[in-house]
Amino acid sequence: MKPQDIRNIAIIAHVDHGKTTLVDAMLKQSRIFRENQQVAERVMDSNDLERERGITILSKNTAITYNGVKINIVDTPGHADFGGEVERVMNMVDGVLLLVDSVEGPMPQTKFVLRHALQRGHKVIVVVNKIDRPNARPDYVVNTTFDLFVDLGASEEQADFPVIYTSALTGVSGLEPDQMTDNLVPLFDSILETLPAPQVEQEGPLQLQATLMGYDDYKGKIVIGRLNSGTIQKNQNVLRIDREGNQHSLKVAQVFTHQGLQRVEVEKAVAGDIVALTGLGDVGIGDTITDPENPQPLPPIKVEEPTLRVTFGVNTSPFAGREGDFVTSRKLRERLYIEAEKDVALKVTDTESPDTFLVAGRGELHLGILIENMRREGYEFEVSKPEVILKKIEDKWHEPVENVEVEVSNEHQGAVVELLGKRKGQMQDMEILDDGSIRYRYLVPTRGLIGFRQQFLTATRGEGIMNTLFAGYQPHTGEIHTRDHGSLVAWEPGEATTYGLHAAQERGELFIGPGTEVYEGMVVGQHIREGDLDVNVCKKKQLTNFRAAGSDEALRLEPPRNLSLDDALEYLADDELLEITPKDFRIRKRILPKNQRRRHAKQAGRVKQ
């Protein structure tokens, strides 16, 4: 295959604008699947968590052939927390499809991913998706997208983008909203005409950058990247140059290219194609695979720095070691550093304690997905409340801030404005939408957004929509009071009883039901007031021989609040930890014994005074 017969494209968009569904339609129409083959929805979302949450977390490759041209497609995440995946994929492609919802138009994450594509000089095809929605407004969407290109400093050539209208779900497309064809041919034709073939040197020395990582139980680590120069073949001797400039001699075991959802083994691959290599051992993201005779390293992949961090530690609760397969600090450290190799937006560092590690990421969801994956793999550990990473600029502390975009109905706007005001949010813009709801744009310290999502959903009765995007660093804004409640804390170990829980529920909202095993210092609910309250949920009713009318009526308990892992991570206070096991997660106090907690609080109060 010649480089001019290849197109490498990435599909980028805001979360839930239909990237993965469009890839599904492209695969089906290129006859990748048999006529009678059962194909799951969002076939590219192969990870269990991706299917459960309905979002793309990891970038994935596929390839189709149209009119003799091979189109390598990279499906990218749409959520801001996984922006690191998008940033490095831009090194691997030559053009992008920018999906924009026909009603919502460009959203915060659209701006983030488009900025990186334009900085790399990529040409863009704008795809206005979901054109069959009842309130579709394609002209408005195209105009606002053009304004966004101008704001981001696009060149004249980039701003003169073609527009394709699609409904990915039904697999139709067209050059005009009212002239749709029942296939994606207009989109395929536009890709071949508009997006360039890779500009590579087929006769030059071997040059490839490790951009994505895969793993196979039999083949080991799989390195994925675009071949920038030269050719690569099976059993070829190569040189790996890591980020520090160190050189390592290696031999390629196997070479794969992509066809549909499969990796196809080939003897040889040419410059311009996206390939997967095995047998290269301990390769890291950003390393260069090059010719030993003429080594030419590529510049390392740069991604934006993390903004949040948590501590991961060995589980120290009374229930430690009961449910997990991997419970030691050695196993925990090993797993975290493997993740840092695959995800360049994640940073892992050792601390003074051999049992505790600092893990920094892009946001609560980024860290929450890592925690959930490790839990499912059998790891048992504890994590702290997320905290922001401060920077010292010109002898002053600066903190990360985010652009927050919220859509709320008229009746809930007062509560939301008050919540954002308490968290030092600065209103930037306000827009009344066609359906009567209001869209606010705020600049809010990242610190103020920790634990905000749950309060926002409560204030809007689950109807509000919120999007955030990292905006940079600003001078520290002082103390932010975000928690107006304490915790209900169990004061003795045992099994929770209906009698004990009935007495405790009058003081707040419970997280557990009868029969749950608890230990001293475990958080069993949310107190209705500030400050923690110790409760005895294991208390049993004293039985006597006397009976009185009505005294033995069944005690009624309110259903406990079922916290998800993300909710529990948001709930944490500074003096609390989240105990994670494969079967459960529990919120607990750092200091478990009640007397020691009180003594510590008194000492902290004296120091503060």
- Over the stretch 251-277, which tens digit does the pLDDT of each residue have? 999 999 888 777 888 998 888 888 989
**Does the annotation flag 130 for ligand binding?**
yes
Query: How is domain 487-574+586-608 classified at the CATH fold level?
Result: OB fold (Dihydrolipoamide Acetyltransferase, E2P) (2.40.50)
**Does the annotation flag 392 for ligand binding?**
no
Q: How confident is the prediction for the chain on average, in pLDDT? A: 85
Looking at residue 202, what is its pLDDT? 81
For the CA atoms of 577, 534, 585, 322, what is the dihedral angle to 10 degrees? 100
Q: Taking the CB of residue 313, how many other CB atoms lie within 10 A of it?
A: 18
Query: Both tokens of residue 466?
Result: 């919120």
Q: Please, which residues have CB within 8 angstroms of residue 44's CB and are 6 or more apart in sequence?
A: 20, 23, 24, 56, 60, 62, 75, 261
**Does the annotation flag 291 for ligand binding?**
no
Local structure of 260: helix, strand or coil: strand
User: Does pLDDT of 40 surpass 60?
Assistant: no
DSSP secondary structure, 45-75, as one string: --SHHHHHHTS--S-EEEEEEETTEEEEEEE
- 398 neighbors 305 (Cβ within 8 angstroms): no
**411-468 pLDDT tens trace:** 888 989 999 998 899 999 898 877 788 889 999 999 888 888 888 888 888 888 888 8
**Does the annotation flag 21 for ligand binding?**
yes
User: Does pLDDT of 550 surpass 70?
Assistant: no
pLDDT band at 62 (very low <50, low <70, confident <90, very high): confident
**Does the annotation flag 132 for ligand binding?**
yes
Domain boundaries 3-194, corresponding CATH code: 3.40.50.300
- ∠ at Cα 512 (507, 515), nearest 5°? 115
Query: Both tokens of residue 609?
Result: 């005074």
The CA distance from 387 to 389, in Å, is 7
Domain segments of the chain as ranges? 3-194, 207-290, 391-475, 487-574+586-608
CATH fit for domain 391-475, picks 3.10.130.10, 3.40.50.2000, 3.30.70.580, 3.30.70.240: 3.30.70.240
**Does the annotation flag 391 for ligand binding?**
no
Query: How is domain 207-290 classified at the CATH fold level?
Result: Elongation Factor Tu (Ef-tu); domain 3 (2.40.30)
User: Does pLDDT of 373 surpass 70?
Assistant: yes
